[in-house]
Structure 1
Amino acid sequence: MENFEWTAIQNNDASYDNQFWYAVKSTHIFCRPSCPSRLPKRENITIYYDPNDAIEAGYRPCKRCRPLNQPVDNRTWVSEINTILENNYQQNLSLKELAYQAHGSQSYLRHVYKQETGMTPQQKLLEIRMSQAEIMLVNSDQAVAVIGRKVGFDNPAYFIQKFRQKFGKSPLQYRLQRIKA
């Protein structure tokens, strides 16, 4: 990437719109230089001089800046949100952070996600975390608190409570029952 391109992206310089587009490797989204979304790390950016090249490389258009001058399909956006959730479930992923990463507003993201999937992004995140915890409990001998932290729960008691709600038993009871089976 040239310095002028980086400067244009940093300054949200609309004079470079339709001259080049930038794609962000960590989110699989591409934008116009003027996009008001959070500035990505320079090393995660790839420059394209044709937006179709970005699409062919597997990037989807940003919901916020609409680099193709057309709205992004909701199903495509929900798929991208799911990818973000699956790749970042270990982190403290608030709705605000998710909206930043998915290039949309918090309220609209929550509305579209629930409309398309029947659940909120937070419910999906909890589902992913519980699934990962289940795998770790069965396939490792790590302590329950360690597994809880690895799947995104800082508070072991809260992790145990949520696990019990999902599976009807504590993580330790679940592990012991699966080992005996």
Structure 2
Amino acid sequence: MSKINLSFDEMWDIVMACDGNYDGLFYTAVKTTKIYCRPSCRSRKPKKVNVEFCYAIHEAEKAGYRACKRCQPEVEHSPHAALVRDVIAFLVNNYKEKLELKDIANHVGVSSYYLARLFKQETSETPRAYLEKIRIDKATHLLESSDLKNLEICYEVGFQSTSNFYKVFKRLKHCSPTEYRKQKVKELQQ
């Protein structure tokens, strides 16, 4: 299984959003309770300082954590979950690349048609839509934390054209990248 490259803060945001698309890619380990959970666990959220992240169940258990009784991270809920996790890890790690469905399907060793159908069934999204969300999440992070121009951000996060970047950004965030940055600056000043 592929390991994903996410920062602590990105994983924390995923846990706060209870995003089940990352289940099995990493686990939230709570130092005070010695319990580890899926990112989608609906249990009460711990304090950020009490959390560490593990990439495998055996890693969490070796560190002395036990499985959460509510989300049961040690139980596989779907027979196709491992394949979908590999695809998600591949997308997260390669979002800057020009990726087509056939490239992703080749990476996991299935046909494009099968991958598209299975991925949609498991995540309610197409691999392309999922990749766009990753790219826009990375773009919003750069808009908030850097002085890069929109054009630089567009290419930095893997979009091949600025028009597509603006169209996808507006569809997902309901504003342009420039408007998004202005909103965030205004929020910080308040």
SS where residue 152 of structure 1 aligns? coil
Quick one: distance in 1 between partners of 2:117 and 2:167? 27
Correspondence for 1:79: 85
By how many angstroms is 1:73 displaced? 3.5
By how many angstroms is 1:177 displaced? 1.2
Quick one: distance in 1 between partners of 2:167 and 2:125? 20
Does structure 1 residue 124 correspond to structure 2 residue 130?
yes
Moved more, 131-140 or 154-163: 154-163
By how many angstroms is 1:169 displaced? 1.1
By how many angstroms is 1:124 displaced? 0.6
Segments of structure 1 that go 5 or more residues without pairing to the other structure are 1-24, 29-56, 59-71
Residue 160 of structure 1 aligns with an amino acid whose one-letter code is Y
Does structure 1 residue 154 correspond to structure 2 residue 163?
no
Residue 77 of structure 1 aligns with an amino acid whose one-letter code is L
Quick one: distance in 1 between partners of 2:167 and 2:124? 23
TM-score relative to the length of structure 2: 0.57
Counterparts of residues 19-168 of structure 1 (less than 5 Å): 73-168=79-174
Quick one: distance in 2 between partners of 1:158 and 1:73? 35
Quick one: distance in 1 between partners of 2:182 and 2:94? 28
SS where residue 100 of structure 1 aligns? helix
Quick one: distance in 1 between partners of 2:167 and 2:81? 32
CA offsets, 1:50-83, max 9 Å, x none?
A: xxxxxxx99xxxxxxxxxxxxx931110011100
Quick one: distance in 1 between partners of 2:148 and 2:186? 17
TM-score relative to the length of structure 1: 0.59
By how many angstroms is 1:165 displaced? 1.2
SS where residue 96 of structure 2 aligns? coil
The count of aligned residue pairs is 116
Question: What value does the CA root-mean-square deviation take over the aligned residues?
Answer: 2.2
Does structure 1 residue 169 correspond to structure 2 residue 166?
no
Segments of structure 2 that go 5 or more residues without pairing to the other structure are 4-57, 60-77
Residue 96 of structure 2 aligns with an amino acid whose one-letter code is Q
By how many angstroms is 1:147 displaced? 0.5
By how many angstroms is 1:85 displaced? 0.5
CA offsets, 1:122-171, max 9 Å, x none?
A: 11111111111110100001010110111111211221111111111110
